[in-house]
Amino acid sequence: MRFSFPVLAAAILPVALGATFNVTIGAGGQLRYSPETVTAAAGDIVNFIFHPSSHSATQSTFNQPCVPLASGFSSGFMPVASETGVLPMFQVTVNDTTPIWVHCEQTGHCRSGMVFAINPPASPDPESFSAFQALAMSGQTASATSPGSSSTTSGSSSTTSTGYPQKTASGASKQSATEILGGLVGAMLVAAVL
Ligand SMILES: [Cu+2]
């Protein structure tokens, strides 16, 4: 029994060691994601936590910040009644470091700057997060004429390789997030006790 632990550890560590970034959406009634960007490695998880009253985490593109990407992920609208209640979550697993652009689909929210990005190029890159947010708030879309923009906006291939949605069942608190990993953590704890 105890000799099975090294094998078990080797099997689960590549999953268990990925970092998890918690990102609140609409906390304190603000039309913002917090933080607004994360720098994530392949295998990391971005865990969106929804606050009242109804927001989404929906993938878009740099050039069209407020337009859902057809092949992208979306949490859908997450109605939440109270800050003090159970807050629903939506998790995206990052598969590579290609920038992933996200916005809130609720009417007017993206236009208010309610956008988010995973691994955006650093400012002053023309496709930095601040440029993305400014474009969202302008209500405009960018033409794909700037150098380098085509590779990140041309499509479904990069999208499907960068994120898989993992929608939690119906409402999950942080404790439920632990439960998601409960099987793995439990296995490690049992091994540690042994
Ligand atoms: Cu919103």
How many other CB atoms are found less than 10 A from the CB of residue 118? 24
pLDDT of residue 95: 96
| 191 Cα: distance to centroid of ligand 1 (angstroms) | 43
Q: What pTM did the predictor assign?
A: 0.69
- How many angstroms is it from 174 CA to the middle of ligand 1? 21
Handedness of CA 90, 88, 47, 100 (dihedral sign): positive
Ligand 1 centroid–CA 82 distance in Å is 15
Dist. CA 193 → ligand 1 center (Å): 45
pLDDT digits (tens, 9 = 90+) for 122-169: 999 999 999 999 999 999 988 754 444 333 333 322 222 233 344 433
The mean per-residue pLDDT over the stretch 172-185 comes to 34
* Residues with a beta carbon under 5 angstroms from ion ligand 1: 55, 104, 106, 109, 114
Distance in Å, CA 42 to ligand 1 centroid: 27
Q: What is the pLDDT of residue 144?
A: 59
- Please state the length of the chain: 194
Whole-number Å distance, alpha carbon 155 to ligand 1 midpoint, is: 24
Q: What angle do CA 175, 56, 127 make, to 5 degrees?
A: 110
Q: 55: CA distance to ligand 1 center in Å?
A: 4
How far apart are alpha carbons 126 and 16 in whole angstroms? Answer: 35
Place 30 in a pLDDT band, splitting at 50, 70 and 90.
Answer: very high
The CATH code for residues 22-172 is: 2.60.40.420
Measure 148 CA to ligand 1 centroid, in angstroms: 29
* Amino acid (1-letter code) at residue 190: V
